[in-house]
Amino acid sequence: MLQLNRRKFVSLLGPLAASTLFKTGPNLILHNANIITVDPNQPKAQAIAIFGDRILHVGTNEEVLKLATTFTQLVDMGERTITPGFIDAHSHPASSGRRHLIDIDCSLDSIAEIKKLVREKAMTLEKDEWVFGFKYDDTKTSEGRYINIIDLDEAAPDHPVIINHRGGHTAFVNSKALKMSGINASTKDPNGGHIDRDPNTGDLTGRFLETATDLIKADRPRLTDQMYIDGVELISNMLAKSGITSIHDASGGIKDLDAYQQANKNGVLKTRIYNHIRGFQIYKMIAAGVSTGLGDKWVKVGPLKSVIDGSISERTARLSEPYIGSKDDYGILVSDPEDLYTLCRDAHNAGWQIGVHSNGDVGIDITLGVFERLQKESPKKDPRFRLEHCTVINDSLVKRIAALGAIPCPFSTYVYWHSEKMKFYGAERLNNMFALRSFLDAGIRVTQTSDYPPGPYEPMMAIQSSVTRVGYDGQLWGPNQRITVEEAIKIGTLNGAYASYEEHEKGSLEAGKLADLVVLGSDPTQVDPMTIIDIPVMKTMVGGQWVYVV
């Protein structure tokens, strides 16, 4: 067994590295641990031997300690729980890192507090300079209404202000911002967007939905290359703290790819990146001969990213039945299905994986139609089409997803964190939302995702939310979709690796794989599921190096 594992491992290394290995053995052994491996051949283990950035062996204390040489550092883990590093398969790390550097963080309990910060920020800026805010959440503020143009005019009459909802699909602006963007009450709704108006007066409320947000000509300060790198460094540190070792950047662009590479070269990147390429930027990449998978084990080119419909947290996802409390609000389709097809076809034919933001059942149906058409016209052996979010499903959609071998990437922390918004969907519809049980039962390799900023990214919250289906407020939503802790861990590790074609490299703790792992304060399979969120992350390792130690 030992020889076989060594051989398997050595075959992954060059001859020079292999000779070093036999001289020195593992440089690190973690033993006396409670290891959840996510390897079906050996689900539990006690010790793990690491050489360089790879796992050499996983097994009992006795087996693994036998490998030690005088050069091996032995660490007694005091029976702490170890899992593979978590993989967040849909998030927005580069852009949110930059926003954490520059914008006001509006995840506050009241509109009054947001106004105070806007006022303070405006005082530090020149006249006409824009005030930016993000992570505003309308259902988390005590006033029980949207922040509006009057609020923002009061806070900053002489500065244009734009506050983005944490869901990222709607924006809230003041009069100065409207004036500087040339928008007034007679401006028409663009295709795929909506400008909110007071139903009685017709006046603009300052709320812009979906493509209407593009009408706001916010002049972001010109960012230096160093600021892009600083944003990556900041978010990477935040992720390491939570136990996330790999992340898929779902709104990445060419510039982000560059920032990740520079951060990696500078030695400040602590998270492995799978960088989606957004919309039409893909054509530049195709012209340069680039496609999905180019890169290394730290920074890799991901799929094409496109979008068909709106957001769950902002209630713009396109549904077949209206939102609860409305007769005619079905949400928004933001792309023309034929345009979506053309973009996806060009990427598919150039060797790209494809991920389409598809939230509502109507949006998912359209996207699956595009994927089915592509496979009919130019079949690809292992396309691993991705349905980014894939929130509201039904039996027929699940069957089509399974038939295509497509990968849903649903929000993992929403049931817990956005519980108060679930009333807009209703208890019945929740039986078919974030539908992990349905996906697993159909043999679909669903992933764990935060979509941060829209959802918190902490993996322990994701596991608790998926296992209990209980919100922070005690509300139970769609208990039929509950899964086990073991299933949730696999979704958050190995399935994430599969979604980036890297299941042979990471996602479980087995010989030959990258040494990416997390040390937890207690075992999530043993505690009350309602307390998983309280389990502290003690240490995070990426490529054999501790990147976070409590």
Do 486 and 450 contact (CB within 8 A), yes or no? no
Do 470 and 530 contact (CB within 8 A), yes or no? yes
Number of residues that bind Zn ion (CB under 5 A): 2
Q: Is 361 in the site for Zn ion (CB under 5 A)?
A: no
DSSP state of 331: -
Restricted to residues 411-470, the positions that interact with Zn ion (CB under 5 A) are 451
Spatial CA neighbour of 449 closest among 509, 538, 387: 387
Distance of CA 278 to the CA centre of its chain: 15
Helices 15-24/2-11 angle, 10° precision: 140
DSSP state of 269: -
Q: Is 308 in the site for Zn ion (CB under 5 A)?
A: no
Distance CA 412, CA 245 (A): 17
Q: State the minimum distance, in angstroms, from the CB of residue 455 to Zn ion.
A: 9
Going from the C-alpha of 274 to that of each of 13, 129, 190, 384, 496, the distances in angstroms are 23, 34, 32, 14, 11
Q: State the minimum distance, in angstroms, from the CB of residue 311 to Zn ion.
A: 9
Q: Is 250 in the site for Zn ion (CB under 5 A)?
A: yes
Do 536 and 461 contact (CB within 8 A), yes or no? no
CB of 193 or CB of 543, closer to Zn ion: 193
Q: State the minimum distance, in angstroms, from the CB of residue 510 to Zn ion.
A: 31
CB of 391 or CB of 540, closer to Zn ion: 391
Phi, psi (5° rounding) for residue 538?
Answer: -90, -40
Spatial CA neighbour of 398 closest among 355, 349, 431: 431
CB of 156 or CB of 250, closer to Zn ion: 250
Stretch that binds Zn ion, among 39-47, 245-253, 396-404, 472-480 (CB under 5 A): 245-253
Stretch that binds Zn ion, among 213-221, 248-256, 438-446, 514-522 (CB under 5 A): 248-256
Distance CA 112, CA 173 (A): 16
Q: State the minimum distance, in angstroms, from the CB of residue 237 to Zn ion.
A: 21
Stretch that binds Zn ion, among 135-143, 250-258, 306-314, 347-355 (CB under 5 A): 250-258
Q: State the minimum distance, in angstroms, from the CB of residue 388 to Zn ion.
A: 6
Classified as helix, coil or strand, 373 is helix
Q: State the minimum distance, in angstroms, from the CB of residue 436 to Zn ion.
A: 18
CB of 133 or CB of 310, closer to Zn ion: 310
CB of 156 or CB of 364, closer to Zn ion: 364
CB of 31 or CB of 248, closer to Zn ion: 248
Q: Where are the alpha helices (DSSP H) in 207-314?
A: 225-242, 254-265, 281-287
For the CA atoms of the chain, what is the radius of gyration? 24
CB of 250 or CB of 430, closer to Zn ion: 250
Q: State the minimum distance, in angstroms, from the CB of residue 184 to Zn ion.
A: 31
Tell me how many degrees the CA angle 127-133-138 measures, rounded to the nearest 5: 130
Stretch that binds Zn ion, among 18-26, 39-47, 247-255, 484-492 (CB under 5 A): 247-255
Stretch that binds Zn ion, among 181-189, 242-250, 494-502, 518-526 (CB under 5 A): 242-250
Q: State the minimum distance, in angstroms, from the CB of residue 325 to Zn ion.
A: 25
CB of 46 or CB of 96, closer to Zn ion: 96
Phi-psi region of 53 (alpha: psi -120 to 50; beta: other; left: phi over 0): alpha
Q: State the minimum distance, in angstroms, from the CB of residue 549 to Zn ion.
A: 30
Q: List the structure tokens of 392.
A: 């509201």
Q: Which residues contact 174 (CB under 8 A, 6 or more apart)?
A: 149, 152, 153, 155, 156, 157, 159, 160, 161, 206
CB of 230 or CB of 451, closer to Zn ion: 451
Per-residue interface string for the shown chain with Zn ion, residues 80-119, x marking contact by CB under 5 A: ----------------------------------------
CB of 47 or CB of 247, closer to Zn ion: 247
Q: State the minimum distance, in angstroms, from the CB of residue 317 to Zn ion.
A: 12
Classified as helix, coil or strand, 173 is strand
Distance CA 57, CA 48 (A): 6
CB of 162 or CB of 312, closer to Zn ion: 312
Q: State the minimum distance, in angstroms, from the CB of residue 394 to Zn ion.
A: 23
Stretch that binds Zn ion, among 243-251, 293-301, 376-384, 542-550 (CB under 5 A): 243-251
Q: Can you name the residues that pair with 287 across neighbouring β-strands?
A: none
Which residues contact Zn ion by CB under 5 A? 250, 451
